[in-house]
Amino acid sequence: MSEFMEATSFILKGCGVSLWLFAVTAVLSVPLGIVTALGKMSKNKILLRVLSFYTWVFRGSPLLIQVFFVYFGLPVLGIKLDAMTAAAIAFVLNYGAYLAEIFRGGLLAVETGQMEAAKALGMSYWQSMIRVVIPQAIRNSIPSVSNEAVILIKDTSLIAIIGVADLLRNAKEFSMTNFVFYPFLISGLVYLILSTIIIFGFNRIEKKYSVYV
């Protein structure tokens, strides 16, 4: 029993690292996704091509390879980053690309009459976007963003491959040191609990904003 408690305690220390990466990615990728989505709806062809290339690359290649490139590839160019910083950059860029397409779909789902009504009230283009269109687009995107959030908390396990002592790596280390398998079951249960909390939170948000539909 004492060994089990020791394993649980050790694994939960790694949980803090996983939650840190989740929080940083969530906070930074959402505004990146919104800005990218707005940029991809721009009439500026150069901007559109640049942003389209960005989303194409980061949606079309595995997140693990992106983490490898930032952590192992950038030092070749003289840019050395610690493992957590490298992971955060790769995760933010990756999820920013996915959220950009989600938010772009949300923006396209907003009726054009909403923009026209806002302009009729004397709002400028950006006032109309910020006060009327973007809030509705975000509301439309909540179910998809919820799904991405659940995937994100599970994807944080990928950073174990570059030596970060996250939830999964701590479970693996304890398992190999003590020749037991149950640490993986504990880590799986923790991921399940975290995913359930995220789903519950987004369900509450979705119900709250569905009142205004």
Confidence (pLDDT) at 91? 98
pLDDT at 18 over 80: yes
Q: Which amino acid is at 4?
A: F
Alpha helices in the chain (DSSP H): 2-40, 45-60, 63-68, 83-109, 112-120, 125-128, 134-155, 167-178, 182-210
* CATH code where residue 159 lies: 1.10.3720.10
In 3-state terms, what secondary structure has residue 180?
Answer: coil
Nearest to 100 by CA among 136, 51, 149: 51
Least confident of 44-58, 64-78, 117-131, 154-168: 117-131
Asked whether the beta carbons of 153 and 195 are under 8 A apart, the reply is yes
Confidence (pLDDT) at 118? 81
pLDDT at 123 over 90: no
Tally of domains within the chain? 1
Domain limits for position 137: 2-210
Tell whether pTM > 0.85.
yes
Confidence (pLDDT) at 211? 53
> If you average pLDDT over residues 81-97, what whole number do you get?
96
pLDDT at 212 over 60: no
Tell me the per-residue pLDDT of 150-187, one tens digit each, with 9 for 90 and over. 999 999 999 998 988 888 899 888 888 888 888 899 99
Confidence (pLDDT) at 1? 64
pLDDT at 129 over 90: no
Confidence (pLDDT) at 179? 83
pLDDT at 30 over 70: yes
pLDDT at 8 over 80: yes
Asked whether the beta carbons of 17 and 162 are under 8 A apart, the reply is no
Average pLDDT score over the chain: 90
Distance CA 46, CA 42 (A): 10
pLDDT at 95 over 90: yes
Tell me the per-residue pLDDT of 37-61, one tens digit each, with 9 for 90 and over. 999 988 899 999 999 999 999 999 9
Percent of the chain with pLDDT over 70: 98
Confidence (pLDDT) at 97? 97
